[in-house]
């Protein structure tokens, strides 16, 4: 028997429950109050982010973008490096 296309059998499979987050004092300011709020649950956290237009960033690694330097000559690179060194 399939279980929503993920498991071959539903027998003995129970739902996993993730505990709620511990309360914390937000660092960012809430537009509703003008102060950083105390967040007490995941739902409060989501509402706070949505209300303020904040985006939560994870700890995923960002893949570096490849850069094409075909249109830059070695001479231009040397000139730029010299200019940057002279500005110190």
Q: Is 66 within a domain?
A: no
Examine residue 46 and state whether it is found in any structural domain, yes or no: yes
- For residue 51, tell me if it sits in a domain: yes
CA distances from 42 to 1, 7, 48, 58 (A): 34, 28, 10, 15
pLDDT of res. 27 = 92
Asked if residue 82 belongs to a domain, the reply is: no
Overall number of domains in the chain: 1
Write down the pLDDT at residue 29. 94
**Full residue range of the structural domain in which residue 51 is found:** 21-61
Query: What pLDDT digit, counting tens, does each position of 23-70 carry?
Result: 999 999 999 999 999 999 999 999 999 999 998 888 777 788 887 777
Residue 86 binned pLDDT confidence (cut-offs 50, 70, 90): very high
pLDDT at 66: 82
C-alpha to C-alpha distance for 34 and 56, rounded to whole angstroms: 20
Contact 40, 26 (CB under 8 A): no
Is the model more confident about 22 or about 56? 22
């Amino acid at each position: 028997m399939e279980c929503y296309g993920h498991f071959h059998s539903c027998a003995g499979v129970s739902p996993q429950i993730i505990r709620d987050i511990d309360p914390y004092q937000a660092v960012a300011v809430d537009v509703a109050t003008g102060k950083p709020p105390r967040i007490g649950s995941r739902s409060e956290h989501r509402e706070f982010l949505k209300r303020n237009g904040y985006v939560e960033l994870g700890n995923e690694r960002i893949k570096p973008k490849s850069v094409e330097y075909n249109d830059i000559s070695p001479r231009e690179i040397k000139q730029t490096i010299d200019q940057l060194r002279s500005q110190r």
